[in-house]
C-alpha cells in the first residue's frame, strides 16, 4: 500500500500480466476500463443484474461490477478483447453476426464472454437450456430470439457440424 | 410525391445485408460515451433528494467543498447564473405553459430530483463528497396519483398553475351522443397502463469539453437528435450554435429516453465552461430508474355505441396521463396522438375524445418506444368487450367494422388520412396461420381439463414519420423534415450523412443501402457519418419510427441527384448528347442499346476524377465536384400496419401467463434491410410484452419510488420472451420515394393489445376482465380469487 491507500496487484488479463496500483474499493470493471483501457467490458447496472460487465475469472463467468480488483490478484481474467482473433471471428461472434444477434451492442460483450465459457462446458445445449443460461444477461433491443439462434448455431459449428458458413469474415 | 416506385427493380434496397456496425460491437471495440478518453476530465455526481415534494430551505455545501478531490459543488442558484430556464409555452389551446430551472431552487418535485452537483477528480471521490452536502427541506404533501392530483384542494406541483391539470383538450366529430342514443347497447371499457421507463442498457451520460481560446463547447452525448439537442444546449448556455458541437458516439439503446436535453446534461456543460476544464458524467442505474425519464401511466375509458349485431355507431374516449412533475415535452403531446389515431382500421365517424394530462410528484414523462402504445389495446380491447357483451365472435365484430381495401384513402373522424395499408389482409393471414376454428376447438377441450387457454388479436395501424404538417395540425411545435448529403470523393469513395442518430438499430447498413440504390453502387462502398453536428446536416433526428421513411428517403433522393450528375458527366465523357440511355450499376456505367445493358468501361471513379481534378472538361456550365444536399418533408403521417396474434395459457392457481405462440403479419412498405427490420419487429414486440406483463415503476403513497434497481423494476429475460413467427406482407407506400413506411413501434402496440386480449380470452370462464397492467401473477390472482370457472 502506498500513501494514497492504493495497493499494488498483479492482474493477468487475456494472457498479459499487468501490475496496477488500485484503491481497495475500486471495482474490477473500473480497473479494466480505466487502468487497462479495455473498454469492451460494459457497465450497465452496477447492481449485478444486467450481466453486461461479465468477464471470465479463471474461465468462469463473473460480474466485474460486483468484484473488487484487489480480489483478483493472481487470477486469470478474460474479457471480450481476449476472444478476438487475428484471422476473424470466433464461431460465436460469427454466428451472432449472421443471425443479427445484437443491436446496440452494449450487452453483447457480456453475452459473448458468458457463452464462450458455457459452450465449452455444454457443447450441445437445447434451446431451453440456452435461454436459461442467457437469463443472466439483459438485452433491451433484440427480444433475445436472434441471440438464442446465434448461440445454437455457434454450438453446431463448434461441435464440427456444418453451418454452411466459413468462420473467416 | 408522385408514385413511380418500381421497387421490384431495386438492387440494394431490401437485401438482407448483415450489419456493418457488428464488427466493432462483437469485438469490444464499440465506442460508447464512457469509452471516450478525455485527459484531465473531472467527474460529476448529483445529489438527489429523498423526498417526493419539499421546499428547499438551505443547502450546505461547505463540507463537500473541502472533501478530497473536490473541485466544485454547485446548486440551482449557481446554475441560474450560467444558464437560462426551460420555458415550454407552445400556443396550444388547453395547455398551460410550464418551465423549470436547470436545477431546482425553491422546491424539489420528485424522489430523485437533483439538488446539487459535485465535481471531483474521480467518480468515487465525487460520490463520497455528495454525501457531505446537507440540504434542509420542508416536506410538502406529496401527490402520487392521478386521483390525488385532481382532488379538490390538492397541493400544486407547479405553483404558477391554477391546478395540476396541466393540459385538457376535447374534440368531437359527427354525432357520438346521438349514436349512443340510437344504439342497441353502450359498451363501456376501462384500461390502465403502468408507469414505465425506457431502461437502455447504457444509462445516460455526457462529457463536456470547453475550449477557452475558441470559446467553443464540444459535447459528447449519446443522443437520438444531435441537431435539436445542440440548438437547445446552445440556447440555454447563452451561446450561439456556432459555439457548440454535439458528437454522439455509439449509443447503448435509447427507446426515446435520449431525445430531451436533461438538466444533468446542461449542468455538466455549464460546469465545463465555468471551470474551463472537461467534465464528464455517467448516470448509475438507480438514477436512471428514478430520474431519467418515465413514460406511459395512463387510464382510458371508452364508450362504444353498438347495434346488436356488433356494428359500432359511435365511440367516446377519455384518456388521462400522469405526466410526472416536469414537462420536457408539451404535456398533451403523447396522449393526444392516442386520441387522434384511436379508431385505426375501423369505420367510425361519430367520435369524441377528452384528453387530460396531470402533474404529480413523479419523474417527468417522455416518449418511449411507441408513446401512443396503448392505442391498439384500447381499440382492440373495446372490440373484444363488444363481442363479450353481445356474445358474438370477436373476429366477426372486427370484420363487420373494419375498412375494406376499396375504402382507402380513408379520412378518419379526426381528419387523419389512412392509405396504402392492409389491416384486413394481415388479420386474415394471422388467423389462417393459427387455424382459428381449430384454436377454438382446442380451447374448449382444454377448458374441460381446467387449462385456461386464450387467443388475443390486435390489429395495429401504426403512425410513423410524423411530418411537419401533422405537427402543425396536432398543435405540436416541431418539424418533421430530414436532411442529408452525399459526397462522392475524387477516388470514387462515397460518403453520406443525415441528421438521424441511431441508438442500436443499425442505421449504417440500411441507410447505406438507400444511398447505394439511389446512386448505383454497392452498399459496401458507402460510408455513413452520423451523430456529429459539424458533419451532419441539420435534421430532426431519430424518433417516431422515422429513420427509414425520413432518413432513408432523404438519402435516397440525395443519391438520385448524385446519380443524375454522374451520368451527365459520363454522357459527356462518352460523347453522347444525353445520359438518357445510361445507368450506374455497382459503380460502373452501363449503356442501353437495343434493350440490352452493356458495360462501357467507365467507372464512378473515372467520373469522380474528372469532376474534381479535370473540371475544364466537364459539360459546359457544370460546377466541379460531386456534393449533394437534400431536404425532404415527409407526408403528414405515414401509416404502417400489422396484425398480432398471441396464444397464451393462464394458470389461475399461480396467476402466471405463458405465451404459447406469437404470430405477426406486418406491412411496413419497402423494407431497406430485411434483417434489420425483423430485428426491430422482435425488439418492439418484446418491449410490448414486457410492459404488459412485468414492468412498472412503483411509487408508494408518500411518493417514494420503490423500483430503484433492476431487481425491483422487472425486465424480461430470455426465458420470458417467446419466439416470434413473422409473416412479411409489405406493400409500398405510394406517397414517398422508394415506397418506404416507418416501423419499429407498432410491435409495442400490437403486443400490448394481443397479450392483454389473450389473457382476457383465457380468463373468460371466470367472468373477469383484466384491465390494469402490468398483468403480474399477483394481479391475475386477485382477479380470479374466489371465482369459479364456468364452461
List b or e across B318-327, with b for residues whose CB sees 16 or more CB atoms inside 10 angstroms. bbbbbbbbbb
B651-687 pLDDT, tens per residue?
Answer: 999 999 999 999 999 999 999 999 999 999 999 999 9
B360-384 pLDDT, tens per residue?
Answer: 999 999 999 999 999 999 999 999 9
Q: Does B3 score more than 80 pLDDT?
A: no
In a domain, B189, yes or no: no
In chain B, whose CA is at the least distance from the CA of A51?
B201
A37–B504 C-beta distance less than 8 A: no
A112–B683 C-beta distance less than 8 A: no
**Range in B6-15, B371-380, B403-412, B458-467 with the lowest mean pLDDT:** B6-15
Q: Does A167 score more than 70 pLDDT?
A: no
Inform me whether the C-beta atom of residue B661 falls under 8 Å from chain A C-beta atoms.
Answer: no
- pLDDT for residue A169: 39
Average pLDDT, chain B: 96
**For the residues B63-79, what does the mean pLDDT come to?**
98
- Smallest Cβ–Cβ distance between B201 and the set A40, A107, A145 belongs to A107
Question: Which residue reads 475500486 in cell numbers?
Answer: A26
Q: How far apart are CA B531 and CA B540, in angstroms?
A: 12
- pLDDT for residue A164: 45
In a domain, B196, yes or no: no
> Which 3 state secondary structure label does DSSP give B353?
strand
**Range in B142-156, B420-434, B725-739 with the lowest mean pLDDT:** B725-739
CATH number at residue B448: 3.30.365.10
Inform me whether the C-beta atom of residue B126 falls under 8 Å from chain A C-beta atoms.
Answer: no
> Which 3 state secondary structure label does DSSP give B568?
helix
A104–B250 C-beta distance less than 8 A: yes
**For the residues A71-86, what does the mean pLDDT come to?**
94
Using left for φ > 0, alpha for ψ between -120 and 50, and beta otherwise, residue B516 falls in alpha
For B400, half-sphere exposure in the C-beta direction (CA atoms, 13 angstrom radius) is: 18
Distance between terminal CA atoms of chain A?
47
Judgement on whether residues B709 and B626 belong to the same structural domain of the protein: no
Residue pairs between chains A and B whose CB atoms are closer than 8 Å: 165
> What's the burial of A72, exposed, middle or buried (CB within 10 Å: 0-12/13-18/19+)?
buried
Q: How far apart are CA B628 and CA B487, in angstroms?
A: 6
Identify which of B492, B550, B497 has the alpha carbon closest to the alpha carbon of residue B521: B492
- pLDDT for residue B116: 98
- Smallest Cβ–Cβ distance between B284 and the set A25, A37, A46 belongs to A46
Identify which of B591, B641, B644, B593 has the alpha carbon closest to the alpha carbon of residue B758: B644
- Smallest Cβ–Cβ distance between A143 and the set B21, B199, B721 belongs to B721
In a domain, B431, yes or no: yes
Tell me the angle at which helices B553-573 and B508-519 cross, rounded to the nearest 10 degrees: 30
- Closest-CA distance, B44 to chain A, in angstroms, reads 16
Q: Count structural domains, chain B.
A: 3
Q: B476 pLDDT band (50/70/90 cuts)?
A: confident
A135–B717 C-beta distance less than 8 A: yes
- Smallest Cβ–Cβ distance between A100 and the set B19, B28, B724 belongs to B19
In a domain, B722, yes or no: yes
CATH number at residue B40: 3.90.1170.50
In a domain, B162, yes or no: no
**Range in A49-63, B70-84, B684-698, B733-747 with the lowest mean pLDDT:** B733-747
Judgement on whether residues B419 and B535 belong to the same structural domain of the protein: no
- Closest-CA distance, A102 to chain B, in angstroms, reads 8
Q: How far apart are CA B265 and CA B83, in angstroms?
A: 12
Identify which of A14, A18, A39 has the alpha carbon closest to the alpha carbon of residue A29: A39
Q: B1 pLDDT band (50/70/90 cuts)?
A: very low
Judgement on whether residues B564 and B694 belong to the same structural domain of the protein: no
Give domain limits for chain A: 7-83, 91-158
Inform me whether the C-beta atom of residue B724 falls under 8 Å from chain A C-beta atoms.
Answer: yes
**For the residues B722-726, what does the mean pLDDT come to?**
98
Q: Identify the sign of the CA torsion B303, B307, B308, B312.
A: negative
A45–B679 C-beta distance less than 8 A: no
Q: Could you give phi then psi for residue B585, rounded to 5 degrees?
A: -130, 125
Q: Does B250 score more than 50 pLDDT?
A: yes
Q: Does A166 score more than 60 pLDDT?
A: no
For chain A, give percent helix, strand, coil, nearest 5.
35, 15, 45
B502-545 pLDDT, tens per residue?
Answer: 999 999 999 999 999 999 999 999 999 999 999 999 999 998 88
Judgement on whether residues B522 and B642 belong to the same structural domain of the protein: no
Judgement on whether residues B605 and B747 belong to the same structural domain of the protein: no
Tell me the angle at which helices A145-158 and A108-121 cross, rounded to the nearest 10 degrees: 40
Given B632, B656, B677, the domain boundary residue is: B632
In chain B, whose CA is at the least distance from the CA of A45?
B285
Judgement on whether residues B239 and B334 belong to the same structural domain of the protein: no
CATH 1.10.150.120 fits A91-158, yes or no: yes
In a domain, B148, yes or no: no
- pLDDT for residue B459: 98
Q: Does B139 score more than 60 pLDDT?
A: yes
Angle at B696 between CA B694 and CA B697, to 5 degrees: 155
- pLDDT for residue B108: 98
Query: Do B75 and B243 contact (CB within 8 A), yes or no?
Result: no
Inform me whether the C-beta atom of residue B405 falls under 8 Å from chain A C-beta atoms.
Answer: no
Strands (E), B276-392: 279-282, 294-306, 312-322, 351-358
In chain A, whose CA is at the least distance from the CA of B719?
A131
A104–B202 C-beta distance less than 8 A: yes
pTM: 0.97
A134–B717 C-beta distance less than 8 A: yes
Judgement on whether residues B628 and B639 belong to the same structural domain of the protein: no
**For the residues B70-94, what does the mean pLDDT come to?**
96
Torsion of CA B744, B746, B748, B750, to 10 degrees: -150
For chain B, give percent helix, strand, coil, nearest 5.
30, 25, 40
In chain B, whose CA is at the least distance from the CA of A128?
B719
CATH architecture label of A7-83 = Roll (3.10)
Q: B472 pLDDT band (50/70/90 cuts)?
A: confident
Judgement on whether residues B311 and B220 belong to the same structural domain of the protein: no
Inform me whether the C-beta atom of residue B281 falls under 8 Å from chain A C-beta atoms.
Answer: no
Judgement on whether residues B742 and B607 belong to the same structural domain of the protein: no
Judgement on whether residues B689 and B578 belong to the same structural domain of the protein: no
Q: B51 pLDDT band (50/70/90 cuts)?
A: very high
Given B603, B632, B661, the domain boundary residue is: B632
Interface list for B 23-42 with A (CB within 8 A): 23-32, 34-35, 37
Record the cell numbers describing residue A22, joined without a space. Answer: 488500485
Quote the domain boundaries for residue B370: 294-469+635-784
B185-232 pLDDT, tens per residue?
Answer: 999 999 999 999 999 999 999 999 999 999 999 999 999 999 999 999
Q: How far apart are CA B789 and CA B601, in angstroms?
A: 77
Q: B470 pLDDT band (50/70/90 cuts)?
A: confident
Question: Which residue of B121, B128, B201, B289 to mutate against A (max A Cβ within 10 Å)?
Answer: B201
**B contacts of A97 (beta carbons < 8 Å):** 18-19, 22-23, 26
Given B272, B291, B310, the domain boundary residue is: B291
- pLDDT for residue A1: 52
Query: Do A126 and A118 contact (CB within 8 A), yes or no?
Result: no
Q: Does B57 score more than 60 pLDDT?
A: yes
Q: Tell me the C-alpha to C-alpha distance, in Å, between residue A57 and each of A19, A34, A82, A119.
A: 17, 19, 12, 16
Query: Do B555 and B496 contact (CB within 8 A), yes or no?
Result: yes
List b or e across B623-654, with b for residues whose CB sees 16 or more CB atoms inside 10 angstroms. eebbbbebebebbbbbbbbbbbbbbbbbbbee
Q: Does B175 score more than 90 pLDDT?
A: yes
Judgement on whether residues B543 and B626 belong to the same structural domain of the protein: yes
B21–A25 C-beta distance less than 8 A: no
- Residue B591: beta bridge partners? B582, B598
Judgement on whether residues B356 and B502 belong to the same structural domain of the protein: no
Q: Does B6 score more than 90 pLDDT?
A: no
Amino acid at each position: 500500500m502506498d500513501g494514497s491507500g492504493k495497493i499494488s496487484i498483479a492482474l493477468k488479463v487475456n494472457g498479459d500480466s499487468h501490475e496496477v496500483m488500485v484503491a481497495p474499493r475500486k471495482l474490477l470493471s473500473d480497473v479494466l476500463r480505466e487502468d487497462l483501457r479495455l473498454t469492451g467490458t460494459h457497465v450497465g447496472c452496477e447492481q449485478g443484474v444486467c450481466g453486461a460487465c461479465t468477464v471470465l475469472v479463471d474461465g468462469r463467468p463473473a460480474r466485474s461490477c460486483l468484484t473488487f480488483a484487489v480480489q483478483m490478484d493472481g487470477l486469470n481474467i478474460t474479457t471480450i478483447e481476449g476472444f478476438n482473433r487475428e484471422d476473424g471471428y470466433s464461431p460465436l461472434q460469427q454466428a451472432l453476426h449472421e443471425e443479427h444477434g445484437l443491436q446496440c451492442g452494449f450487452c453483447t460483450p457480456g453475452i459473448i464472454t458468458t457463452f464462450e465459457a458455457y459452450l465449452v462446458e455444454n457443447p450441445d445445449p437445447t434451446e431451453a437450456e440456452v435461454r436459461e443460461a442467457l437469463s443472466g444477461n439483459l438485452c433491451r433491443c433484440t427480444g433475445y430470439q436472434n441471440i438464442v439462434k446465434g448461440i445454437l448455431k455457434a454450438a453446431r459449428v463448434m461441435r464440427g457440424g456444418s453451418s454452411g458458413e466459413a468462420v473467416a469474415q | 410525391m408522385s408514385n413511380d416506385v418500381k421497387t421490384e427493380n431495386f438492387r440494394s434496397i431490401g437485401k438482407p445485408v448483415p450489419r456493418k456496425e457488428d464488427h466493432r460491437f462483437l469485438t469490444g471495440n464499440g465506442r460508447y460515451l464512457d469509452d471516450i478518453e478525455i485527459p484531465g476530465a473531472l467527474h460529476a455526481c448529483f445529489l438527489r433528494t429523498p423526498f417526493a415534494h419539499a421546499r428547499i430551505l438551505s443547502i450546505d455545501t461547505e463540507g463537500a467543498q473541502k472533501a478530497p478531490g473536490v473541485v466544485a459543488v454547485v446548486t440551482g442558484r449557481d446554475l441560474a447564473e450560467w444558464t437560462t430556464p426551460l420555458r415550454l409555452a407552445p400556443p396550444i389551446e388547453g395547455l398551460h405553459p410550464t418551465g423549470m430551472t436547470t436545477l431546482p431552487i425553491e422546491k424539489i418535485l420528485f424522489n430523485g430530483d437533483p439538488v446539487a452537483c459535485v465535481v471531483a477528480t474521480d467518480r468515487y471521490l465525487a460520490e463520497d463528497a455528495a454525501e457531505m452536502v446537507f440540504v434542509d427541506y420542508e416536506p410538502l404533501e406529496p401527490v402520487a396519483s392521478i386521483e390525488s392530483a385532481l382532488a379538490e384542494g390538492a397541493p400544486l406541483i407547479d405553483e404558477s398553475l391554477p391546478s395540476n391539470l396541466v393540459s385538457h383538450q376535447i374534440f368531437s366529430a359527427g354525432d357520438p351522443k346521438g349514436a349512443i342514443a340510437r344504439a342497441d347497447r353502450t359498451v363501456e371499457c376501462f384500461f390502465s397502463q403502468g408507469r414505465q421507463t425506457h431502461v437502455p442498457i447504457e444509462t445516460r451520460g455526457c462529457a463536456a469539453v470547453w475550449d477557452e481560446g475558441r470559446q467553443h463547447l464540444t459535447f459528447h452525448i449519446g443522443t437520438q437528435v444531435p441537431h435539436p439537442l445542440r440548438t437547445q444546449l446552445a440556447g440555454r448556455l447563452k451561446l450561439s450554435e456556432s459555439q457548440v458541437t454535439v458528437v454522439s458516439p455509439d449509443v447503448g439503446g435509447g427507446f426515446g429516453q435520449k431525445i430531451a436535453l436533461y438538466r444533468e446534461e446542461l449542468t455538466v456543460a455549464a460546469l465545463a465552461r465555468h471551470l474551463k476544464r472537461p467534465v464528464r458524467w455517467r448516470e448509475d442505474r438507480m438514477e436512471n430508474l428514478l430520474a431519467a425519464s418515465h413514460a406511459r401511466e395512463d387510464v382510458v375509458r371508452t364508450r362504444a355505441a353498438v347495434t346488436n349485431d356488433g356494428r359500432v355507431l359511435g365511440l367516446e374516449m377519455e384518456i388521462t396521463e400522469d405526466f410526472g412533475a416536469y414537462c420536457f415535452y408539451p404535456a398533451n403531446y403523447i396522449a393526444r396522438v392516442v386520441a387522434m389515431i384511436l379508431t385505426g382500421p375501423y369505420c367510425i365517424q361519430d367520435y369524441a375524445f377528452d384528453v387530460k394530462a396531470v402533474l404529480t410528484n413523479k419523474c417527468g414523462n417522455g416518449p418511449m418506444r411507441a408513446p401512443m402504445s396503448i392505442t391498439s389495446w384500447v381499440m382492440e380491447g373495446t372490440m373484444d368487450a363488444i363481442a363479450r357483451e353481445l356474445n358474438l365472435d370477436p373476429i366477426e365484430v372486427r370484420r363487420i367494422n373494419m375498412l375494406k381495401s376499396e375504402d382507402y384513402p380513408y379520412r378518419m373522424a379526426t381528419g387523419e388520412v389512412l392509405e396504402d395499408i392492409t389491416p384486413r389482409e394481415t388479420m386474415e393471414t394471422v388467423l389462417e396461420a393459427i387455424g382459428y376454428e381449430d384454436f377454438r376447438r382446442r380451447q374448449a377441450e382444454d377448458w374441460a381439463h381446467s387449462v385456461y387457454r386464450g387467443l388475443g388479436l390486435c390489429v395495429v395501424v401504426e403512425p410513423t414519420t410524423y411530418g411537419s404538417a401533422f405537427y402543425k395540425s396536432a398543435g405540436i411545435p416541431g418539424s418533421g423534415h430530414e436532411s442529408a448529403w452525399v459526397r462522392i470523393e475524387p477516388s470514387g469513395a462515397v460518403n453520406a450523412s443525415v441528421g438521424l442518430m441511431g441508438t442500436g438499430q443499425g442505421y449504417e447498413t440500411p441507410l447505406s443501402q438507400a444511398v447505394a440504390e439511389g446512386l448505383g453502387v454497392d452498399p459496401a462502398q458507402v460510408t455513413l457519418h452520423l451523430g456529429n453536428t459539424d458533419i451532419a446536416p441539420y435534421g430532426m433526428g431519430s424518433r417516431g419510427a422515422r429513420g427509414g421513411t425520413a432518413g432513408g428517403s432523404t438519402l435516397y433522393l440525395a443519391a438520385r441527384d448524385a446519380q443524375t450528375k454522374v451520368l451527365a458527366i459520363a454522357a459527356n465523357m462518352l460523347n453522347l448528347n444525353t445520359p438518357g440511355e445510361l445507368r450506374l450499376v455497382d459503380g460502373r456505367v452501363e449503356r442501353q442499346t437495343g434493350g440490352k445493358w452493356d458495360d462501357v468501361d467507365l467507372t464512378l471513379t473515372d467520373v469522380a476524377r474528372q469532376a474534381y481534378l479535370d473540371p475544364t472538361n466537364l459539360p459546359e456550365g457544370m460546377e466541379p465536384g460531386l456534393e449533394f444536399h437534400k431536404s425532404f418533408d415527409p407526408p403528414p403521417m405515414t401509416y404502417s400496419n400489422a396484425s398480432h396474434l398471441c396464444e397464451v395459457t393462464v394458470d389461475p392457481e399461480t396467476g402466471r401467463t405463458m405465451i404459447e405462440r406469437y404470430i405477426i403479419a406486418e406491412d411496413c412498405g419497402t423494407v431497406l434491410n430485411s434483417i434489420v427490420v425483423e430485428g426491430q419487429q422482435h425488439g418492439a414486440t418484446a418491449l410490448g410484452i414486457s410492459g404488459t406483463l412485468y414492468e412498472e415503476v412503483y411509487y408508494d403513497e408518500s411518493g417514494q419510488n420503490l423500483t430503484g434497481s433492476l431487481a425491483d423494476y422487472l425486465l424480461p429475460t430470455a426465458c420470458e420472451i417467446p419466439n416470434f413467427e413473422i409473416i412479411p406482407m409489405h406493400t409500398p407506400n405510394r406517397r414517398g420515394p422508394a415506397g418506404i413506411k416507418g416501423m419499429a413501434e407498432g410491435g409495442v402496440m400490437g403486443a400490448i393489445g394481443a397479450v392483454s386480449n389473450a389473457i382476457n380470452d383465457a380468463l373468460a370462464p371466470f367472468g373477469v376482465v383484466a384491465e390494469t397492467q402490468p398483468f403480474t401473477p399477483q394481479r391475475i390472482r386477485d382477479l380470479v380469487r374466489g371465482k369459479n370457472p364456468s364452461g
